[in-house]
A and B are shown apart, each in its own frame.
Chain A
């Protein structure tokens, strides 16, 4: 059986110890060794004494040593990934390599039937509970016996792998620059302390290069679950604790390591980290040429950094990501406020014209007649409501003013009687649409303009003269003939009028839903669904 030795370091190969290990642990005799012609592998006397065949590749033909080279590549690929992820300095390469071997031995491979190498060797599946992310931040609990009440309870470190034969984690404490093995550790596997290098230089660890190398054993070692008798020969020739105290005095120029505050995400606003600048005491103002413009949403940089406001809005709210048409829309929204009362609107020509148009339309329909205020009548107030209709780009489509009556002042049985108005049930809509779908009827939609102004008022309702309407003489009011927006009976009056019209045209109200009007004449069929001012019209003939 061939065994290959993976070369971890350029130190003298432990061929002898491997031979012993394989024999003791697995009762396997090493029969042959294949290697390249590296001088560190020449153990001729040893190999000869054990009767092991040493095969070497020819000069300049690493293909003949392919198995080792492939494994070598595999290990280095994974190790690079670990190093890039954790951003550890290259001094830690040996830990990475060791961890890679630990990982590879526990990753299933299709070549060996989707089993892990560990499983093949030990005939049991590996234990994954101790798997942690290499190079992540961790907190090792301090020794209970040596700490007093106000000592820190934990020390920060990075996770570097496992120690063979010890149930614990190898941790590098980057404050004291010390390696240790410990069991009670909390891991923050999303944080890599070396990942965010500070503004100074990348961390140069003042560590002697040699002793960092962990106890590398390239073999399949079942680390912690072995009975103690089996563990003994392994740990005997290696120091378990290789604690290294960095010679910090000799390296006084070593910059402080940049992981004082390891943060999972980079700070959103880099401004607070800038060194304080000399700032003038003068109060900053926007330039004079901008005085006539609204620029609160357009400041490219918060000028409030020097103002008194400690939490300026601009630090949390920014318009910078809006597209230019949308910004244009927003700006026009804020520059053109909709007035909330007649007092505000009467100063603007656009609103005056809008109100004039509305009054003309109302008078054209004989909505009211001006009369003297009858005695013992409480007048209903009225109000202008203003709305700017806009195009999608924010430009003004039209200014719309609507006169509404203050219906809440109406008194029941005096100003109104019935207010109930039918609206269509959604079930009816669904059924009609389903029928239309099956019978392939066309479905059209109609919209009634100024819907409530069509209703005829039967009650005597007196309304105050709308503001802005110039009327000769005092003590006048409007006697309404048509319903206005805001009156309680408006929608009922509209429905009455519409239903009378439709019934006169030969339509019938459905018994199940009074908002459904149906007409059948010969072979043609028409249905109307009324929801206040929205009408759905469907039928089998378009004429």
Chain B
């Protein structure tokens, strides 16, 4: 590692920032027993920019019975902000796998978001507000397993 650092430094000017702490908005905490990744600051900024910093936290991500589809409610005038929001949620799934499903649902309507989609997106943000510090936890004594899951549920999709 010292060798490659030296090579890089002689070719470009490199600043050695030491132990990895903050990378692309991901905060990394090291300890004897684990590594912990979280995007607390990113999450906080997301909540602030969506204007919900004074809002109530919400314990669930989505309404269980909610089936988002291309409905005929009022089209959003500010389409860009919806797309930006979903884009940021997509990035947040890096350390928050639990919002993946909700984000995937929301991202289906990037072209024509309506009010109901925005309400669902705000619900996700309220959920995040309650647990900004959660992230990924890599214990040092775990084993390497490759597990895959699949659940294609075309039946509930109203649009197709």
Question: Which A residues fall within an 8 A CB radius of B?
Answer: 426, 429-430, 433-438, 440, 442-451, 454, 498, 501-502, 505, 507, 519, 526, 528, 531, 534-539, 541-543
Q: Decide if A430 touches B20 in the complex (CB within 8 Å).
A: no
Would you list the 7 A-B pairs with minimal beta carbon distance, nearest first?
Answer: A437-B138, A449-B13, A437-B35, A445-B17, A443-B20, A426-B94, A447-B15
Q: Decide if B17 touches A446 in the complex (CB within 8 Å).
A: yes
Bound-state CA distance A498–B14 (Å) is: 12
Given A444-B17, A445-B17, A446-B16, A501:B11 Cβ within 8 A = yes
Interfacial residues of chain B within 129-146, with CB under 8 A of chain A in the complex: 136, 138-144
Residues from chain A with a CB closer than 8 A to the CB of B144 are 435, 438
Residues from chain A with a CB closer than 8 A to the CB of B4 are 502, 505, 507, 519, 526, 528, 537
Q: Decide if B11 touches A444 in the complex (CB within 8 Å).
A: no
Among B3, B5, B30, contact of A443 (Cβ-Cβ < 8 Å): B30
Bound-state CA distance A433–B143 (Å) is: 14
Residues from chain A with a CB closer than 8 A to the CB of B35 are 433-434, 436-437, 443
Given A443-B30, A444-B1, A542-B2, A505:B7 Cβ within 8 A = yes
Question: Which B residues fall within an 8 A CB radius of A?
Answer: 1-5, 7-8, 11-24, 26, 28, 30, 34-35, 37, 91, 94, 136, 138-144
Q: Which residue of A lies closest to B144 (CB)?
A: A438
Q: Which of A448, A502, A519, A543 has the most CB of B within 10 A?
A: A448
Q: Which residue of A lies closest to B15 (CB)?
A: A447
Q: What is the distance, in angstroms, from A468's C-beta to the closest C-beta of chain B?
A: 24
Among B5, B139, B140, B141, contact of A446 (Cβ-Cβ < 8 Å): B5
Residues from chain B with a CB closer than 8 A to the CB of A436 are 35
Bound-state CA distance A529–B16 (Å) is: 15
Among A444, A498, A519, A539, contact of B18 (Cβ-Cβ < 8 Å): A444
Q: What is the distance, in angstroms, from A282's C-beta to the closest C-beta of chain B?
A: 42
Residues from chain A with a CB closer than 8 A to the CB of B18 are 444-445
Q: Which residue of A lies closest to B26 (CB)?
A: A429
Q: Which residue of B lies closest to A531 (CB)?
A: B24
Q: What is the distance, in angstroms, from A260's C-beta to the closest C-beta of chain B?
A: 32
Given A445-B20, A448-B14, A534-B23, A430:B136 Cβ within 8 A = yes
14 other A-B residue contacts (CB within 8 Å) besides A442-B19, A448-B8: A426-B91, A430-B136, A437-B34, A437-B142, A440-B140, A443-B20, A444-B19, A445-B19, A447-B14, A447-B17, A451-B12, A501-B8, A526-B4, A531-B23
Residues from chain B with a CB closer than 8 A to the CB of A449 are 12-15
Residues from chain A with a CB closer than 8 A to the CB of B20 are 443-445, 536
Q: Which residue of A lies closest to B139 (CB)?
A: A437
Q: What is the distance, in angstroms, from A383's C-beta to the closest C-beta of chain B?
A: 24
Q: Decide if B5 touches A543 in the complex (CB within 8 Å).
A: no
Bound-state CA distance A501–B6 (Å) is: 12
Bound-state CA distance A438–B17 (Å) is: 23
Bound-state CA distance A435–B143 (Å) is: 10
Q: Decide if B94 touches A430 in the complex (CB within 8 Å).
A: yes
Q: Give me 11 A-to-B residue pairs in the complex whose CB atoms sit less than 8 angstroms apart, sorted by A's number.
A: A438-B140, A440-B140, A443-B30, A444-B17, A445-B16, A445-B22, A446-B16, A446-B17, A448-B14, A498-B12, A505-B4
Given A434-B138, A437-B35, A539-B1, A446:B7 Cβ within 8 A = no
Residues from chain B with a CB closer than 8 A to the CB of A443 are 19-20, 28, 30, 35
Bound-state CA distance A541–B30 (Å) is: 18
Q: Which residue of B lies closest to A539 (CB)?
A: B1
Residues from chain A with a CB closer than 8 A to the CB of B30 are 443
Residues from chain A with a CB closer than 8 A to the CB of B26 are 429
* Count of A-B contacts judged by CB separation below 8 Å: 105
Q: What is the distance, in angstroms, from B10's C-beta to the closest C-beta of chain A?
A: 10
Q: Decide if B136 touches A446 in the complex (CB within 8 Å).
A: no
Given A438-B138, A443-B30, A501-B8, A541:B1 Cβ within 8 A = yes
Bound-state CA distance A438–B34 (Å) is: 8
Given A430-B94, A444-B18, A526:B23 Cβ within 8 A = no
Residues from chain A with a CB closer than 8 A to the CB of B138 are 433-434, 437-438
Q: What is the distance, in angstroms, from A515's C-beta to the closest C-beta of chain B?
A: 12
Q: Which residue of B lies closest to A423 (CB)?
A: B24
Bound-state CA distance A443–B139 (Å) is: 15
Bound-state CA distance A528–B142 (Å) is: 23
Residues from chain B with a CB closer than 8 A to the CB of A502 are 4
Among B2, B24, B28, B139, contact of A534 (Cβ-Cβ < 8 Å): B24
Q: Decide if B1 touches A448 in the complex (CB within 8 Å).
A: no
Bound-state CA distance A444–B22 (Å) is: 10
Q: Decide if B37 touches A433 in the complex (CB within 8 Å).
A: yes
Among B2, B23, B139, contact of A445 (Cβ-Cβ < 8 Å): B23
Q: What is the distance, in angstroms, from B91's C-beta to the closest C-beta of chain A?
A: 8
Residues from chain A with a CB closer than 8 A to the CB of B7 are 501, 505
Bound-state CA distance A528–B20 (Å) is: 12
Q: Which residue of A lies closest to B95 (CB)?
A: A430
Residues from chain B with a CB closer than 8 A to the CB of A536 are 20, 23
Q: What is the distance, in angstroms, from A295's C-beta to the closest C-beta of chain B?
A: 29
Q: Decide if A433 touches B94 in the complex (CB within 8 Å).
A: no
Given A426-B94, A444-B20, A542:B15 Cβ within 8 A = no
Q: Which residue of B lies closest to A527 (CB)?
A: B1
Residues from chain B with a CB closer than 8 A to the CB of A501 are 7-8, 11
Q: Which residue of A lies closest to B142 (CB)?
A: A438
Q: What is the distance, in angstroms, from A524's C-beta to the closest C-beta of chain B?
A: 9
Bound-state CA distance A501–B2 (Å) is: 16
Bound-state CA distance A426–B18 (Å) is: 21
Q: What is the distance, in angstroms, from A536's C-beta to the closest C-beta of chain B?
A: 6
Bound-state CA distance A537–B11 (Å) is: 17
Among A435, A437, A505, A537, contact of B1 (Cβ-Cβ < 8 Å): A537
Q: Decide if A433 touches B142 in the complex (CB within 8 Å).
A: no
Residues from chain A with a CB closer than 8 A to the CB of B15 are 446-449
Q: Decide if B37 touches A448 in the complex (CB within 8 Å).
A: no
Bound-state CA distance A271–B37 (Å) is: 51
Q: What is the distance, in angstroms, from A52's C-beta to the closest C-beta of chain B?
A: 62
Q: What is the distance, in angstroms, from B111's C-beta to the closest C-beta of chain A?
A: 24
Bound-state CA distance A312–B136 (Å) is: 49
